[in-house]
Amino acid sequence: MGKGESSRPTSPSGLFAEWNLAFWTLCAIIVPILFTLWCSFRRSRRQGLVQDILHKSKHDWHDTDLFSQPTYCCVCAQHILQGAFCSCCGVCVDEECLKKADRRFLCKEIVMRGEGGIRTSMVHHWIRGNVPLCSYCVMCQQQCGTQPKLCDYRCIWCQQTVHDECMHNTLKNETCEFGEFCNLIIPPYYLFNVSQMRKDKRMDYGKLASSCRNQWTPLIILANTRSGNNMGETLQGQFKILLNPIQIFDLTKTTPAKALQLCTWLPCNSVRVLVCGGDGTVGWVLDAIDDMKIKGQERYIPQVAILPLGTGNDLSNTLGWGAGYAGEVPVEHILRNVMDADVNKLDRWKVQVTNKGYYNLRKPKLFSMNNYFSVGPDALMALNFHAHREKSPSLFSSRIINKAVYFFYGTKDCLVQECKDLNKKVELELDGERIDLPSLEGIIVLNIGCWGGGCRLWEGMGDKPYPLARHDDGLLEVVGVNGSFHCAQIQVKLANPVRLGQAHTVRLILNSSKMPMQVDGEPWAQGPCTITITHKTHARMLSHSVKSETN
C-alpha cells in the first residue's frame, strides 16, 4: 500500500450522506421536468376540449390570448384577458365558461324558425355587457358601458344600446328595425318567407320585397382572405356583427358562383355585392356574374363595389374606392359608402390568343379583360413575381413586400433589357389598320384610366389635350413604353408613354420566340401567336365619389 493512501472503509453515515445528496439532486432535476410535462399535458387537453366546443358550437367562436379593451365574461361577469368571442353576436367568455355560454346564449338567427305565413318583423336580440365604446343609451341618451363591470345591453341586429336600469319589458319585446344598415341587411324573417314559398312552389318576389323596406338593396360580401395584407378574415368578423352572417362569404372556402346563388333568393335588380380583394378577385367575381347571364339569370345580376385588399388595385382606383385598404376606415363608413354609391358601366373585353402553326391543334386561349393587356417589361415583372410567389407563398402576405419584389424585378430588367426591339417582333392593328411602331420594349392596351398602381397612363403629364380614358365608351387606349426605367419615369410623372391610338378592336401578331404577356395581372410566356381583343359585355359597377362624401 503506497504512502498517503488510506485503507479505512467509508463509514455508513458517509454513504448515507452521499446517497441522500444524489437522491435530492435527482429530484431537483426530474420533478420540474415531470411538473412541466404534466402542465403541458393538461393545457393541451384543455385546448383540445376548447377546440372541440368551438368546432361543434353554433357560435362562430374565435379564441384569443388578449382582448384589445377591458372585457368581461358574459357568464361569470369576471374580467377576462384570455378567452373567446363570437364574431357574429359578440358574446365574450373565458375558457371555463365556454360550454355554459354555448348553452345559454343564442347566436344570430340567420333564418327564423317556426311555421306559419308571411312574417314582416322580429324583436330585438339583446346581449348584456361589452358594449362598444362611445355608445349611447337609446332611452336616456347617456353614455353606456362606462362602469368597470359587465353592464348594459346591445341589440346584435340594430346595434342599439341601453342601460341596465333603462331596460324595460316593453323594450325587450319591441320590434327591431335593424338600425342604420337596415337597407343592406337580409332579415331572418325574409329568408323564412322565401323558404315557406319555395315549399308551396309559388314565388311572389313582389310580396316578399314588400315585407322589407322600399329602398331595400341587400348586400352580399365576398372576401378573399388571401389578398394583400390578409385582412379578409378580420373584415368578415366585423361585417358579421353589423349584417346577417349569411351575407358574408369567404372566397377561399366558397366560390363566387356558389355564393352568388343567394341572389336568386332576393328581389331582382336590387342586389349589391362588395368584393373584398384585389383586381384578380374582382375579375373572378365578374366572370361568375357573366356565367349567371349565360344560365338565363340576367334579372339577378348584382351591382359590384370594391374594397381593395390587393397590391395594384387599379380598377378600384378608377372607380373611386382607393388604392388600398389597411384598416384605416371603420367598416361602418365602408357600408355607408356602398349605400351612397352610383351605378356605372364597365366595359369587359375578350382576349383570344391563337397559336401559330398547323402542328398546334389546341383551342385558342380565352381571357376576360377588365383592366389592361400588356406584352413587354411590365408583363415580365408580373411573370417573375408570380413565379416567386408560387415558390414561397408565405412571404407575400404584405402589400409593401409585394411592391418591393416588383421594384426588384423592375430594376433587374433595366440592366438586362430582355424585351428590347419589340417593334421588330410584333405587328399592331387598330380596327384593322396597321400601325407603324417606333422603337419599343412594351405595348399596353388599356380599358381603365389607372395602370401600375394608380398612374394615369393615357393622360400622361398633360402636355397635350388628350381626352380622358373612359371605362364605358367601348374604346381601348394603346400605348408603348421603352423599358422598365421608362415605366418608372411615367409613374412619377417624369415622362409620357408613346401613344399609339384608340380602337374598338386590337390585334397583335407576335412573330418571334416567347415573350412575357399578362391580362389583368395573370402572366404567362407566349410563343408566336395572334392576340385579338374584342368587346365582350358590360358589368354593372358601383363607383364612389369623394365629392359626395365631403358635401
Amino acid at 427: E
Query: CA torsion sign, 51 to 55 to 59 to 62?
Result: positive
Residue 186, pLDDT score: 92
Q: Does residue 8 surpass a pLDDT of 60?
A: no
151-155, 360-364, 514-518: the lowest-pLDDT one = 360-364
Same domain (yes/no): 99, 137: no
Q: What's the Cα-to-Cα distance from 120 to each of 145, 159, 203, 548, rounded to whole Å?
A: 32, 20, 16, 33
| 204 and 132 together in one domain | no
pLDDT digit string, tens, across residues 67-92: 878 899 999 999 998 888 998 999 99
**In the structure, what pLDDT confidence band is assigned to residue 319 with cuts at 50, 70 and 90?**
very high
Q: Judge if 275 and 398 occupy the same domain.
A: no
Most confident of 53-62, 98-107, 357-366: 98-107
Q: How many domains does the chain have?
A: 4
Residue 30 lies in a domain: no
Look up the CATH number of the domain holding residue 133: 3.30.60.20
Residue ranges with strand state E in 59-194: 61-64, 71-72, 79-80, 83-86, 92-94, 126-128, 153-155, 161-162
Question: 3-class SS at 38?
Answer: helix
In a domain, 45, yes or no: no
State whether 266 and 411 are in the same domain: no
CA distance 69 to 482: 54
The Cα 278–Cα 232 span in angstroms is 11
Q: Is the pLDDT of residue 31 over 90?
A: no
Kindly state whether residue 441 falls inside one of the protein's structural domains.
yes
pLDDT at residue 183 greater than cutoff 60 = yes
Q: In 3D, which of 269, 257, 347 has the Cα closest to residue 302?
A: 269
Q: Within this chain, do residues 500 and 401 fall inside the same structural domain, yes or no?
A: yes
Q: Are residues 299 and 367 in the same domain?
A: no
**Boundary (domain end) residue, out of 138, 154, 174:** 174
Q: Is residue 468 part of a domain?
A: yes
Q: Is residue 31 part of a domain?
A: no
Q: Dihedral through CA 155, CA 161, CA 162, CA 164, nearest 10? A: 70
Q: State mean pLDDT over 407-412.
A: 52
Between the two ends of the chain, the Cα-to-Cα distance in Å is 109
Q: Give the domain range for residue 139.
A: 124-174
If asked whether residues 153 and 204 sit together in one domain, one would say no
Q: What is the mean pLDDT of the chain?
A: 83
The CATH number of the domain where 253 resides is what?
3.40.50
Statement to judge: residues 332 and 357 lie in one domain = no
Task: Indicate whether 384 and 316 sit together in one domain.
Answer: no
Nearest Cα to 276, choosing from 298, 240, 24, 85?
240
State the Cα angle at 311 between 310 and 314, rounded to 5°. Answer: 85
> At residue 4, does pLDDT exceed 50?
no
What is the per-residue pLDDT across 424-446, written as a single tens digit (0 to 9) for each? 889 999 999 999 999 998 999 99
**203 assigned to some structural domain:** yes
Asked if 141 and 262 sit in the same domain, the reply is no
Residue with cell 395572334: 530
For residue 79, the 8-state DSSP code is E
Q: Convert the pLDDT of each residue in 281-315 to its tens digit.
A: 999 999 999 998 877 778 888 999 999 987 778 99
Confidence at residue 162, expressed as pLDDT on a 0 to 100 scale: 94
Residue 85 lies in a domain: yes
What is the residue type of 256?
Answer: P
Same domain as 496, residue 356: yes
The contacts of residue 77 (CB under 8 Å, 6+ apart) are 129, 149, 150
Shared-domain flag, residues 371 and 519: yes
Q: In this structure, is residue 292 part of a structural domain?
A: yes
Question: Is residue 204 very low, low, confident or very high in pLDDT (cuts 50, 70, 90)?
Answer: low
Domain CATH for 425: 2.60.200.40
- The per-residue pLDDT for 2 is 47
